[in-house]
C-alpha cells in the first residue's frame, strides 16, 4: 500500500514525481516503467521510445513555450495559468544544464513570415522555442533521475497490466507479474507508446472518452540552406494549411535545422522521426508534414488505422521508405540509382528507396503534395524534385478522457496525463500535465 503510483517514466511521469517530491515529501511514491533505466536505454529498436525519459529521451529536445500548440490543457485551465506553467517547466529543464537562449521572434520578423505565409495560403503560428539538443536531453534526464533517487521507488522493465478501482475510486495498479500495488492515487502517464493501453484501460473503467485523430504523414529532408532564412531567426516555424481538394488540416511539425532523420520502433512497426544536436550539424534540415485523420461513426479506432497504414509501409519497404519528391510527382518509384543522383544526401542511410504512393492513402498524399507547393512560396526550394520524403511518420494519441481542471478522471484518485492520455502533444505540455496532477494530489494530502 502506497500513496501514489505513477505509470510511465516519460516527461509527464517524471515531472509529476519531481513536483510530489518537493510539494509532498512525506508521501510514498512508486513509479512503474515498462522500459529500462536511463543508463541502460538503447537508441535502437523499441528501447528508443520506452524507458526513463520516454520518447523524449532521444528526441530533438524542443520546448515549444506557447499556449497555442502542444495539447488541449488550455481548454481545462485559464491561458494565463498555462503560460505560467510553461515558464515554470522551462525553468526546471534549464536549471539542469547550460542552455542556449530562447528563440523569440521580434514583432517585425513574425509579421514578415506571417505575410509570406498568407500569400501562400498558409497560416503561420509564431512560438517561443528553446532547443535542448539530443545530447543534452540525456544529461538532463540523468540528473532528474539522480534527484529522485531515494525519494521515489522505481520499478523498471515491468508493464502495468491494468488499473484497478473499487467502486468509483481508484484502488491500485496490477503489474504484469500479478502483483497488485494498492494506492490512494494513480497518475497514468503511459506516453505515446502506451496510447493503445490507455484506450483499453479507459474502456475497462467505463470512462467517458472522445476519439482523438491520428496524425499521418512524411518526414521531409532538404538542404539546410533552403530553410535557413526561417530557422536562423525562429529555429522552428510552424505552418498550418487547409487543403484545396479536401479542406483537411495539414501542419508542419518538429523542424530540425541541420539535423538528421531517425527510425522509431513502436511495438512491431517501424516509423520515422527526426532530431538535431546542440553541438554538431549535418548539411540538412528535416521536418514532418502531418495530416490529422478524423473519423466519424461507425469507425472509432484511429490508432488501429494508423498502425495499419504504417504496417503497409513496412511491408513494402522492410522498414522506412525514402522517395525523391520528383519521382513521386512523376509517378515512379525511387531506385537506388535515382537516389544516388539526388542532390540531397539522406541522413537515414538504412531507409529503402521506394514508392510512398503505394502505402499512403490518396487523400493524405494529396494534402501533403499541396502543402509542399505552398511551403515553396515561403521557402523557395522546398518543392524541389531533390527534396526527400520518408515514410511513414505516425503520431498516436489515446482517446481523450473526460478530465477536470486537475486532470482527474471520473474515477476518483485517477489522473491521466501526457501524450498517451490524449491531452498533450509534445515535451513541454506533457511535463506541465504531470505538474498539474502532482499539485492536486499534494494539496489533497497536505
pLDDT tens-digit series, residues 289-298? 999 888 877 8
Q: What is the rounded CA–CA span in Å between residue 53 and residue 88?
A: 19
Residue 341 CB neighbour total at 10 angstroms: 10
* Total tally of structural domains belonging to the chain: 2
Whole-structure pTM value: 0.90
Q: The CATH number of the domain where 439 resides is what?
A: 3.50.50.60
Closest CA to 258 of 282, 227, 234: 282
Q: Kindly report, residue by residue over 95-144, the tens digit of the pLDDT.
A: 887 666 788 888 899 999 999 999 999 999 998 898 888 888 888 999 99
Q: How far apart are CA 171 and CA 178, in angstroms?
A: 15
Same-domain status, 263 and 329: yes
Are residues 255 and 227 in contact, defined by beta-carbon separation less than 8 angstroms?
yes
Share of the chain above pLDDT 90, in %: 75
Tell me: cis bond preceding 392? Omega within 30 of 0 counts: yes
Residue 154 sits in the same domain as residue 281: no
Verify that 66 and 36 share a domain, yes or no: yes
317 and 171 in a common domain: no
- DSSP string covering 272-307: EEEE--SS---SEEEEEEEEEE---TT---HHHHHH
Print the domain residue range for 8. Answer: 2-97+132-209+400-444
Tell me the pLDDT of the chain averaged across its residues: 93
Yes or no: say if 325 and 389 are a contact pair by the CB < 8 Å rule: yes
Q: Are residues 163 and 177 in the same domain?
A: yes
User: Is 111 a domain residue?
Assistant: no
Dihedral of CA 144/147/152/155: which sign?
A: positive
Cβ atoms of 310 and 394 closer than 8 Å = yes
- Both 204 and 312 in a single domain? no
Residue 120 lies in a domain: no
Rg of the chain's alpha carbons, rounded to an integer? 21
Verify that 219 and 187 share a domain, yes or no: no
Q: What is the pLDDT of residue 82?
A: 96
Res. 317 pLDDT band, cuts 50 70 90: confident
Query: Where residue 26 falls among pLDDT bands split at 50, 70, 90?
Result: very high
Q: E strands within 198-349? A: 209-210, 214-223, 238-242, 249-256, 260-266, 269-275, 284-293, 321-324
Predicted local confidence at residue 279, as pLDDT:
84
Q: Are residues 185 and 297 in the same domain?
A: no
Q: Average pLDDT for residues 376-380, to the nearest whole number?
A: 97
3-state helix, strand, coil in the chain (%, to 5): 35, 25, 35
Amino acid at each position: 500500500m502506497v500513496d501514489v503510483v505513477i505509470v510511465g517514466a516519460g516527461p509527464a511521469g517524471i515531472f509529476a514525481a519531481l513536483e510530489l517530491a518537493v510539494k509532498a515529501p512525506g508521501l510514498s511514491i512508486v513509479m512503474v516503467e515498462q522500459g529500462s533505466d536511463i543508463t541502460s536505454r538503447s537508441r535502437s529498436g523499441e528501447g528508443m521510445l520506452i524507458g526513463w525519459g520516454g520518447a523524449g529521451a532521444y528526441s530533438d529536445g524542443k520546448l515549444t513555450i506557447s499556449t497555442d500548440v502542444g495539447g488541449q490543457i488550455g481548454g481545462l485551465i485559464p491561458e494565463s495559468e498555462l503560460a505560467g506553467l510553461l515558464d515554470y517547466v522551462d525553468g526546471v529543464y534549464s536549471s539542469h544544464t547550460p542552455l542556449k537562449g530562447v528563440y523569440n521572434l521580434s514583432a517585425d520578423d513574425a509579421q514578415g513570415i506571417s505575410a509570406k505565409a498568407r500569400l501562400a495560403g498558409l497560416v503561420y503560428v509564431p512560438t517561443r522555442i528553446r532547443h535542448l539538443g539530443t545530447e543534452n536531453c540525456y544529461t538532463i534526464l540523468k540528473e532528474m533521475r539522480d534527484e529522485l533517487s531515494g525519494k521515489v521507488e522505481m520499478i523498471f522493465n515491468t508493464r502495468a497490466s491494468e488499473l484497478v478501482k473499487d467502486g468509483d475510486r481508484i484502488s491500485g495498479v496490477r503489474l504484469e507479474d500479478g502483483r497488485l500495488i494498492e494506492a490512494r492515487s494513480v497518475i497514468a502517464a503511459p506516453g505515446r507508446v502506451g496510447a493503445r493501453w490507455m484506450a483499453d484501460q479507459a474502456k475497462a473503467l467505463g470512462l467517458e472518452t472522445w476519439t482523438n485523430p491520428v496524425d499521418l504523414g512524411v518526414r521531409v529532408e532538404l538542404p539546410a540552406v533552403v530553410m535557413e532564412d526561417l530557422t536562423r531567426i525562429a529555429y522552428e516555424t510552424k505552418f498550418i494549411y487547409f487543403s484545396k481538394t479536401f479542406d483537411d488540416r495539414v501542419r508542419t511539425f518538429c523542424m530540425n535545422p541541420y539535423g538528421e532523420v531517425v527510425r522509431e520502433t513502436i511495438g512491431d512497426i517501424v516509423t520515422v522521426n527526426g532530431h538535431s544536436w546542440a553541438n554538431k550539424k549535418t548539411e540538412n534540415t528535416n521536418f514532418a508534414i502531418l495530416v490529422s485523420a478524423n473519423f466519424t461513426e461507425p469507425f472509432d479506432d484511429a490508432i488501429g488505422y494508423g498502425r495499419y497504414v504504417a504496417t503497409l509501409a513496412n511491408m513494402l519497404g522492410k522498414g522506412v521508405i525514402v522517395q525523391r519528391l520528383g519521382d513521386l510527382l512523376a509517378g515512379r518509384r525511387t531506385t537506388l540509382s535515382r537516389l544516388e543522383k539526388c542532390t540531397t544526401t539522406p541522413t537515414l542511410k538504412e531507409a529503402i528507396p521506394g514508392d510512398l504512393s503505394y502505402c499512403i492513402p490518396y487523400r493524405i498524399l494529396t494534402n501533403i503534395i499541396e502543402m509542399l507547393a505552398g511551403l515553396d512560396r515561403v521557402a523557395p526550394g522546398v518543392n524541389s524534385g531533390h527534396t526527400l520524403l520518408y515514410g511513414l511518420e505516425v503520431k498516436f494519441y489515446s482517446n481523450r478522457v473526460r478530465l477536470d481542471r486537475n486532470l482527474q478522471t471520473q474515477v476518483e484518485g485517477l489522473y491521466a496525463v501526457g501524450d498517451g492520455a490524449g491531452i498533450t502533444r509534445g515535451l513541454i505540455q506533457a511535463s506541465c500535465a504531470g505538474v498539474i496532477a502532482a499539485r492536486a494530489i499534494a494539496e489533497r494530502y497536505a
